[in-house]
Structure 1
Amino acid sequence: MSVTVRVPAKVNVQLAVGGARADGFHDLANVFLAVGLYDEVTATPADELRVTCSGPDAHQVPLDRGNLAARAALALVERHGVAPDVHLHIAKDIPVAGGMAGGSADAAGALVACDALWGTGASRGELLGICAELGSDVPFSLVGGAALGTGRGEVLTPLEVGGTFHWVFALADGGLSTPAVYREFDRLWEGHEVPAPEASPDLIEALRAGDGVALAGVLSNDLQPAALSLFPALERTLAAGTDGGALAALVSGSGPTTAFLAKDEESARSVADALLASRTCRAVRVTSGPAPGATVRAHGT
């Protein structure tokens, strides 16, 4: 028997970052929106824990026990005493190291798939607790939709979304390390007091109303200056998308993927064409949100 779970990418429509905490993390007000780019994680019985991966950039995905999907399976093993004899195959379509929570999505997918495969019967609360231990973005990958993440991003409050938002994502040549971007954030703020992060009421209202124009006016990412400092070429990509008709543009999370909000599907495709013509990115993806969280797609035999 096997179980396949589909998990979405995310874009941070707001990422407000506080100063570094004693534990090295930063307090966040992180408004997540799940979008329709997906990885699929399939769990199949095996003689031992094994991870494989296929799809774009699969060669960049670690296949040892350090992989977040493998760590998710092992966390469930530790709690329920089952043998970690599973083959996890990741069919990857979320950009790797692109600030879209691909690794976090795989962790959530593996957790749900192994829970179903092994019949551990973990509660939603238990699964969310394991997700929070695995990483700040992992709980949202389980939940999907839209949510405000506080703490280091793992404490979620679901948000209402009143419509569909159309997005274009431009994939950069090269990657950015999330820890490196946070270090650069700290360097840029050195000697200054970092404001406490707060969610924007106007942004939450724009989501609730399904108003793309209003949302475009309040998108923000406190990590963007740090990402641009480390990867200056992203400035050209942001400008190309805006010149191509995007309502707004920003770096997605810690980057280097850049995100462009469009008026509608037709406009999104025009923005994508403009980005490709600009030669400032290696590929583009057109999609929309919100999207559901981790979802069991198939049970096989």
Structure 2
Amino acid sequence: MTPSPPSRAVRASAPGKINVFLGVGAVMEDGYHEIATAYQSLAVSDTVTASPAEGFRMTAAHPASGAAVPVPAAALTLRAAKALARRGRVAEGVHLHVDKLLPVSGGLGGGSANAAAALLACHELWGLDMSREELTSLASRIGADVPFALRGGSAIGTGRGDQLSPVLATGVFHWVIVLSGEGLSTVTAYRALDEHRERHVQDIGPAQRSPVVPVEVLHAIRAGDPYQLAEAMHNDLQAPVLRMRPELTTVMERGELAGALAGMVVGSGPSLAFLVADAEHAHAVSEELRASGHEAYTVTSPSQGARLA
């Protein structure tokens, strides 16, 4: 039986994410890598509005300016809606509109967040009755970060990043995020890492097949201690990303000189995240970076996962 969708539009939001630790395993025969990552959801979200339509289409725009954002034909958001329609035996289509606050190809998980929000919005629009576990299982087949975008909070991700274990977190971490004008694809970043490791194998040795998240990272998250986390956070993709985008090194140095506890490339880049002690320091560091001509904003972690708006 095909559910009958309501005539109203349904809105849902899902948070961006930060990988406070990202260990990448050796490239495998199929070209993929196992990872071990510590996720935290950020208190900034895109919002997806699902409206009844014939066929499947997607639009996106910046909510403040109204400027359109290009939508890739293979966007995860559309894939999520189509996968849910197949799973729920829904004959109707949907128009998905994204109010875009998260950067495109910036390493903050915007595409995965949109996919997670689309799953929730379309599930409600089409009157389906799937459990959260069923939605999470479907999410893992859409993209590695989509299950975490549904869950939110703090979690360890292994495998492709979709095998999640929740982490008890206390307190709030304060970040300054610096955006780059040009995105960087995840595939490009991982390929650059493989090449970097091959060039420097004599110095750094072969990569582990299955990396792990160090206990120091877990302790810092559980304690809510930014000083501990500043010492423990790490991203294996940082070195190759900085090699491809050397201008980011200057921004990293500028943020740390402005008072950040530590700076790091976010995910596959090219966004940068600076961990700071508190809200006051976040404001000071962001103002210093803006004065230098960079697009910077403050945000906290962790936050809740995808939800109906």
Using the size of structure 1 for normalisation, the TM-score is: 0.94
**Match of residue 3 from structure 1:** 10
CA RMSD of aligned residues (A): 1.4
Task: Determine the C-alpha separation between the residues in 1 that align with 2:29 and 2:127.
Answer: 39
Deviation at 1:201, TM superposition (A): 0.5
CA contact (8 A) 1:72 1:107 kept: yes
Flag as ranges the 4+ runs of structure 1 deviating above 4 A.
56-60
Tell me, what secondary structure is at the counterpart of 2:95? strand
- 5 Å-filtered alignment, 1:65-214, equals 66-190=74-198, 191=201, 192-195=205-208, 196-214=210-228
Deviation at 1:277, TM superposition (A): 2.0
Task: Determine the C-alpha separation between the residues in 1 that align with 2:28 and 2:148.
Answer: 22
Task: Determine the C-alpha separation between the residues in 1 that align with 2:10 and 2:28.
Answer: 39
Q: Which amino acid aligns with 1:262?
A: V
Identity %: 43
**Match of residue 259 from structure 1:** 273
Deviation at 1:278, TM superposition (A): 2.4
1:220 matched to 2:234? The reply is yes
Deviation at 1:59, TM superposition (A): 4.4
CA contact (8 A) 2:174 2:282 kept: yes
**Match of residue 298 from structure 2:** 286
CA contact (8 A) 1:52 1:63 kept: no
**Match of residue 4 from structure 2:** none
**Equivalent position to 1:32, from 33, 39, 55:** 39
The unaligned stretches of length 5 or more in structure 2 are 1-7
Superposed CA offset, 1:126-176 (max 9, x none): 111111111111111111001100001010001111100001100112121
Deviation at 1:85, TM superposition (A): 1.5
Task: Determine the C-alpha separation between the residues in 2 that align with 1:198 and 1:58.
Answer: 41
**Match of residue 295 from structure 1:** 307
Tell me, what secondary structure is at the counterpart of 2:169? coil
Deviation at 1:70, TM superposition (A): 0.9
CA contact (8 A) 1:5 1:294 kept: yes
1:45 matched to 2:52? The reply is yes
Deviation at 1:63, TM superposition (A): 5.5
Superposed CA offset, 1:256-278 (max 9, x none): 00000111111001010111122
Tell me, what secondary structure is at the counterpart of 1:261? strand
Tell me, what secondary structure is at the counterpart of 2:232? coil
The unaligned stretches of length 5 or more in structure 1 are none
Task: Determine the C-alpha separation between the residues in 1 that align with 2:53 and 2:133.
Answer: 28
Task: Determine the C-alpha separation between the residues in 2 that align with 1:63 and 1:131.
Answer: 19
After TM superposition, the structure 1 stretch with the greater mean CA deviation from structure 2, 235-244 or 51-60, is 51-60
CA distance 1:84–1:23, change in 2 (3 Å): farther
Q: Which amino acid aligns with 1:147?
A: A
Task: Determine the C-alpha separation between the residues in 2 that align with 1:47 and 1:118.
Answer: 13
Deviation at 1:112, TM superposition (A): 0.8
Tell me, what secondary structure is at the counterpart of 1:163? coil
Task: Determine the C-alpha separation between the residues in 2 that align with 1:11 and 1:104.
Answer: 12
CA distance 1:285–1:108, change in 2 (3 Å): same
Task: Determine the C-alpha separation between the residues in 1 that align with 2:129 and 2:75.
Answer: 23
CA contact (8 A) 1:51 1:63 kept: no
Tell me, what secondary structure is at the counterpart of 2:283? helix
CA contact (8 A) 1:17 1:222 kept: yes
Superposed CA offset, 1:77-103 (max 9, x none): 111210241111101101111000000
- Residue correspondences, number: 294
Superposed CA offset, 1:9-61 (max 9, x none): 11110001110122221111111110111100111112222211110796443
CA contact (8 A) 2:62 2:69 kept: no
